[in-house]
Amino acid sequence: MSESKQLAGKHVLLGLSGGIACYKSAELVRLLVKAGATVQVVMSEAAQAFITPITLQALSGRSVYTDQWDAREANNMAHINLSREADAMLVAPASADFIAKLAQGRADDLLSLTALARPTERCPLLVAPAMNREMWLHPATQRNVLQIQADGASVLGPGNGEQACGETGDGRMLEAEELRDALIAFFQPKLLAGKTVLITAGPTFEPIDPVRGITNLSSGKMGFAIARAAAEAGAAVTLVAGPVHLPTPAGVRRIDVQTAQQMHDTVLPLASSHQIFVATAAVADWRPAQTNAHKIKKDGKKISPVFELTENPDILAAVAALPKGPFCVGFAAESQDLARHAREKLDRKKVPLIVGNLGPATFGRDDNALLLVDAQGERELPHNDKLSLARDLVREIAERLTEKR
């Protein structure tokens, strides 16, 4: 999935407070700059015990601010100037002490002063906590986190796992890639805020015997990109995935299945509690009528086995037929005559929107082109990376939901 220039034109004010996670922030600066952002770093005194301003200056290409009495600023108001030009302020790592300062509105160093002097409407605050698990779980910290959220801050993480102190638990700062993606997501328009979206993705695998099966070349990338785009747009997303090798997009609930029947049995009970259903999965149309308990062996007589097939349930058609079902979007992966086949599917499955794409041209790739077919007509989403197309599709779906109301 292309991460290139997703933050183009964004100016990020990155604050570091004290903690061993400061070393990850060096990588974060590099990733933000690579994604097209300009990054202005501000460090607390404690942060400088872990990493030097020189490192972050080299990576950001801008001199780092550390001191509220910095004489470089003509008006001597670094705390005002810094946040006036930023699109967002991200504090990573945010120590327990720094979160406590934020909660109390204290302003006794440049970083806390800048956070407080920030115009809250124009320069939102994101906070990535990093601390020992006992410090994170302490009621005082939990109280402070609730307070800063109530004051409008977005809290990213923390993650769970091994800690520098040797303990294991909650409190690790999210990885640099996760923070970059969280920032990218933060800037996306919240077109599906408060909505619930159910998505199927990937191929299914229909076993013949314990080692063989019928499957197809779907990689799941398009469905996973739609799950990410929907989550970025503010939806609560459930992703039912066939066998694929893809990481779960941030904030998405994922349920793994293998066969079409399992996908059907997972999706159907969930469908009515979701407002949108997007069926991107390349579901096998047929499965072997019987599954052999043991591997089928060659018998030496050169007689090939013959398999009887039976039809799988049509998940999309079943969801579309529910009395109070979600807004349904189907996919049509074709090898030719896209518009005709997509329109046939629209009628046959009785869904309001079918998205056509050329299967052999897109399976496994990071790019695609989509043809949207509905009762009104056709609309092409031209060739692009799958994440950009997924965001376009999310916009199309959001518009149709607004029209429906």
144: contact with ligand C5P by CB under 6 A: no
| Packed helices 53-60 and 22-34: angle between N→C axes, nearest 10 degrees | 10
Q: What span, in angstroms and rounded, lies between the C-alpha atoms of 340 and 337?
A: 6
CB closer to ligand C5P out of 102 and 332: 332
Instruction: Work out how close the CB of 261 gets to ligand C5P at its nearest, in angstroms, rounded to a whole number.
Output: 10
Amino acid letter, residue 397: I
Residue 104's closest CA among 93, 119, 115? 115
Contact 124, 159 (CB under 8 A): no
Residue 65's closest CA among 85, 83, 46, 44? 44
Contact 203, 243 (CB under 8 A): yes
Site pattern 328..357 for ligand C5P (x: CB under 6 A): --xxx------------x------------
From 12, 225, 271, 279, residue interacting with ligand C5P (rule: CB under 6 A): 279
Instruction: Work out how close the CB of 263 gets to ligand C5P at its nearest, in angstroms, rounded to a whole number.
Output: 8
Q: Is 8 exposed, middle or buried (0-12, 13-18, 19+ CB in 10 A)?
A: exposed
Instruction: Work out how close the CB of 386 gets to ligand C5P at its nearest, in angstroms, rounded to a whole number.
Output: 16
CB closer to ligand C5P out of 111 and 281: 281
- Any residues with CB less than 8 A from the CB of 278 and at least 6 apart, and which? 197, 198, 199, 200, 223, 226, 230, 329, 331, 397
Residues forming the active site:
165
Contact 166, 194 (CB under 8 A): no
CB closer to ligand C5P out of 296 and 309: 309
From 315, 346, 370, 387, residue interacting with ligand C5P (rule: CB under 6 A): 315
CB closer to ligand C5P out of 191 and 263: 263
Question: Per this entry, what is the length of the chain?
Answer: 405
- Any residues with CB less than 8 A from the CB of 344 and at least 6 apart, and which? none
CB closer to ligand C5P out of 102 and 260: 260
Q: Which stretch binds ligand C5P (CB under 6 A): 3-11, 45-53, 297-305, 327-335?
A: 327-335
CB closer to ligand C5P out of 101 and 345: 345
Contact 90, 114 (CB under 8 A): no
Contact 68, 44 (CB under 8 A): no
Site for ligand C5P in 177-206 (CB under 6 A): 200
User: What residue ranges in 202-284 does DSSP mark as E strands?
Assistant: 206-209, 212-214, 236-241, 253-256, 276-279
# binding residues, ligand C5P (CB under 6 A): 14
From 44, 83, 132, 312, residue interacting with ligand C5P (rule: CB under 6 A): 312
281: contact with ligand C5P by CB under 6 A: yes
Beta-bridge mates of residue 65: 42
Q: Which stretch binds ligand C5P (CB under 6 A): 19-27, 63-71, 95-103, 312-320?
A: 312-320
283: contact with ligand C5P by CB under 6 A: yes
Instruction: Work out how close the CB of 280 gets to ligand C5P at its nearest, in angstroms, rounded to a whole number.
Output: 6
> 183 is written with which tokens?
């920032």
Beta-bridge mates of residue 327: 276
Instruction: Work out how close the CB of 320 gets to ligand C5P at its nearest, in angstroms, rounded to a whole number.
Output: 9
Per-residue DSSP letter, 305: P
CB closer to ligand C5P out of 89 and 279: 279
Instruction: Work out how close the CB of 30 gets to ligand C5P at its nearest, in angstroms, rounded to a whole number.
Output: 39
The contact set with ligand C5P (CB under 6 A) reads 200, 260, 279-281, 283, 312, 314-316, 330-332, 345
